[in-house]
Amino acid sequence: MALFAPDAIRQMTDETTYLEGKRLYDLYKIAHMAEETLMHTRHIEAVVKDTPFPEDVFVAVDASYTIQEMYCSCDRFYHSSSAPCRHLIALLLEAPASTGAPASPIPAVPDGNDTVKDQFLEYFSPFQSRVEDVGTQIHADFLVSFPIDNRRPEVLFPVVQVKIGENQRYVVKNIHQFIEAMKNDAPYRLAPSLTFDPMYHYFSEENLHVLHLLASILRQEEWGSSYQEQWTARSGSKKEMAVPPYAVETLFSLLNDCPNAYITDAYGERPWTVTENWPYSFYLNCEKNSDVLIFSTSQNEMPFFVSDSSFCLWAGNLYSPEKELARTAAASQRMLIQAPEKRLIFSQQEFLDTFLHWGAPLMNHCCLEIDGELQGRLQLESLQTMLYLSKGRGGKIAGDLIYRYGMKEYSAFRPGTVPSFEDPDVVPRDRQQEHIQLRRLQKKGFIQENDRLLLSSPKNIIDFLSKDLAALRPYMDIFMSEEVERMLIPGQSLSLFSDINVEEKWMELSLTSSVTDALETPGIWKALQEGREFYKTEDDRFLPLDDDLLQRLARALQQMPKPDQTAVNGSVRYPAHQAFNLDKHLSGADRWQTSLDVEDMIQNIRRAAENNTALAEPVDVELRAYQHEGVQWMKQLASYRFGGILADDMGLGKTLQALCFIATECMEAPGEAPFVIIAPSSLLYNWKRETERFFPSLKATVVSGSKKEREQQIYQQSDIFITSYPLIRRDVEWYGKTFFRGILLDEAQAVKNTSSKTAKAITQLRGKYCFALSGTPVENRLDELRAIFSVVMPGLFPSKKLFSSWSPEEVRDRAAPFIMRRTKKEVLQELPEKVETTTYCDLLTNQADMYKKTLQNVQQEAGTLLEEGAEANRMHLLSLLTRLRQICCHPALVQPDYQSSSGKLEELVRILHEGTANGQRVLVFSQFTSMLALIRDRLAEEDIDYYYLDGSTPGEERVRLAESFNKEEGPDVFLISLRAGGTGLNLTGADTVVLYDLWWNPAVEMQAADRAHRLGQTKTVQVIRLITHETIEEKIQHMQEQKRHLYDQVITDEQAGLHTLSAEDLRLLLTGKAQET
């Protein structure tokens, strides 16, 4: 039963719109209907498949059958939303009545057996007059003819005609309609006395197989338009069906099993038979006292191929010989028939050069009769190709190409013995195959020079010796001199070894080879750094650099600074921290070895945070677990004279961790060089107080004041010197005279500009290691991180130009061992489980102009409608409100040709970039699917991957998308229609929810947020509402806040909350004025 009576729906709009909507309803155009009840209000949405575009529709109906809200994405509803459009009419006609709603009386079924029997007889009576025997077998005859393909006159294509009957057969006048009737179990009239009906008739299994194949062919519409329509237009008949090339083999195989299959052509109609052997012979004679041979045939008929198959129709008979024989015999017969006297005359040389290609297939299949004397002397030998290689001048490879037939050899380029009929054995040469063999070598780079082949290009030589040689061996025998065999130094023969010197902060790399001791390491290293494909030695040997180990090494070298030096033994030096870069690129590679020192260093630093060793006494400061990990991480890096960046969130105690690290270092090795801490001027004494508070045994000196005072302070005995960034620039000469145990940079973003005087001054300081403290090491650009590391770990990143081409993933991988960052969310369990925030967005200039102009028009129009009655004009007032809200989202929702962006969209993109960069997984909800489409386009421009779900997404796809997102298998962003995905989804894989636009009912927003914040969630969920500043959205938010105290009651009282907008609410939102009393 429908939700509303048709007459009631008809009264909602004009007659034309109603009839258009009813037509959509009658044509079953409503799809993906979904419904839920919130606070006694039914929310029904669907997709109406209209032309040219489907439209999203939505209607909200309360318990009193009052329409509270309706929406359609079509232009007509937008421009005239006071009444339903045809899409909404279709939805209202389709929408079912709620459970328990009063139902209309069901028409009674007439009582009595006679009435039921009459209905039965009336239903089945047509069949009784058509078929006397019920459940009988009916037979099909298949007649196949072979007209010429107009596009290829030498080719025929099969055409099938079907006859059906019991005793007498009737031609199926329209095969397409007959197949459709079979498929739909519908009757098909064959003749006045016979109607085929699938309910009573059945075919034999052999007949059914053929009919099913014909049905399958008809489904291939693309083919049908090419062949079937061509044949129908040509013949003017629909009783024959052309068979496409791909189905010929299958059809003929099925017809072989059919007892009632026939061939029909000019020779008449005869039973279907296919013969495998070629029926006729050709003749080859050697004329006496002559050097010519005659090739002839006695047949006058022209053979035809059937489509692109191996079947041939010749003299009314169908043959299926082997493809090689069919091709040769048919071509020979066609040309002989066209030749004078049906024969071809060859010279001896022509015969010997071509016989293997036309004569051998005929001879092998007993289709060629050869003159008796020639038959005894003709020897068919297969070609054997031999290639002899030697080293030529200038590092080239020279080759001699020989063709052998049995015991006879012929040089590819030198004149030699030519086969002749004077020989005791006549051996035809396979000229075509000889040419193919030569082309194989030419494709590998060989060129002919006089009577030899030469390979001169270094790349071709390497390719030939490393891979082409193996590829050619199945086709020819190849013999190489020892010099040629030694020309290649296989990349697989090389091994790489790495070691480190901790004191000098160096890593040494060395290359060795298993096939030669004279490895020219400096040249190889340069070739790898330049990205060359091979290296040529001084004695004309080649080392290909495409080996996996060498390619990995080359990629690593592209991201490494130039080596410090090349030692006498061929090893090269790099900063020790480059061991991590090598490990990333070479891990798992064969023939790469590292010393135990290198392995220990990599493992120790990667697991530094896991070190639970107690800190040196008397460091008894109570540290949280993550702070203890931070100290151990700094100590592990320092033990290898490495530095790093401690990038914890603000408030997690970076200062305490740094001081604890300094204290343990001083206590483990007292009396060594001091530390220097460089911080913003405002924090100098904070550092001093923290030192005195936690580690009173350490002496901390703040270096500040006048120049004279600072000079005196610098030369004092102290464990820690504390100075500011401005002062380090002035006093760098003094500090440069001291070797520090360690250098610490607080708020290190101060050195994010490598060309600044501050950064240059700090790089002049000398120390074992340097650490930076910064909660925001990257504020605007990745280059800021490189700048900090250029001070902390010089050489860790490449040049600025190369660094700019790195992806964020590459930067992260390189920095990972030397940067530690923890967020409050990660380490502080007491944070609230769900944090709700509101982000205010400003209108862009063009957007603001449109909003102001629209607002004036809306207020004027709303005033008139409110005077006429708010409830009577409720839908129209809601549409005005929606128009303003859409402009806040994006003006293109109202004006499709709008070209600029919106403030809210730009803020969303910023949130997504920042969130995904920090590993957050984000749900973005919007009630407007058209807005989601704009977001999708923008995310594509920003290279942000996403999942997408709206009301048209099938149920199974919804489940699959949710499961995939929760398993973190794909994108980190999920765009969801608020109505389609606000309920019924478990998306605990997300930790951030963005509500792009406000919904009338806050409960709907809460449900959307609860897609992520629900049972099974282990992370804090942040909910972000985007609201456009100084617009209707702020008014809606204010109205919601005034009623916010009601939301807690929603759990127990569904009637509470802002689930609808009252007339007064609409008045306040649209005019800003309350109704006068």
C-alpha distances in angstroms, 81 versus 3, 56, 67, 928? 21, 14, 13, 16
> How many Cβ atoms sit within 10 Å of the Cβ of residue 121?
10
Total residues found in the chain within this entry? 1077
- Going by their DSSP bridges, the two strands 992-995 and 268-271 should be labelled as unpaired
Pairing outcome for strands 159-165 and 139-145:
antiparallel
3-state SS assignment for residue 537:
coil
**Number of other residues whose CB lies within 10 A of the CB of residue 487:** 21
What pLDDT does 671 receive? 84
pLDDT tens track for 918-955: 888 999 999 999 999 999 999 999 999 999 998 888 76
| Residue 130: per-residue pLDDT | 35
- In whole angstroms, what is the distance from residue 394 CA to residue 612 CA? 65
Rounded distance between C-alpha atoms, residue 902 and residue 758, angstroms:
40
Q: Residue 794: which residues within 8 A CB-CB, separation 6 or more?
A: 575, 763
* Sequence-separated (6 or more) residues with CB below 8 Å from residue 154: 304, 305, 334
Cα 430 from Cα 380, distance rounded (Å) = 10
Which pLDDT score is estimated for 422? 63
What is the model's pLDDT at position 276?
Answer: 81
Q: Strands, E, within 309-382: which ranges?
A: 312-314, 317-319, 343-347, 368-370
Cα dist. 998→101, 193, 926, 1001, 1033 in Å?
33, 71, 8, 8, 7
Rg of the chain taking only CA atoms, in angstroms: 44
The per-residue pLDDT for 703 is: 93
* CA 44/CA 48 separation, integer angstroms: 13
CA distances from 367 to 68, 222, 347, 601 (A): 89, 41, 22, 80
Give the single-character DSSP code of 96.
B
Q: Which residues make beta-bridge pairs with 477?
A: 386
Instruction: Give the list of residues 6+ apart from residue 817 with CB closer than 8 angstroms, or none.
Output: 577, 580, 605, 606, 644
* Look-up of token digits 């010929």: 248
| Residue in the structure block whose two tokens are 């340097």 | 770
Q: Which residues pair with 161 in a beta bridge?
A: 143, 240
Using 50 as the pLDDT threshold, list the residues of the chain that sit under it.
99-113, 115-134, 221-225, 831-832, 1015, 1044-1059, 1077
Burial class (CB in 10 A: 0-12, 13-18, 19+), 823: middle
**Token reading at 394:** 């200038």
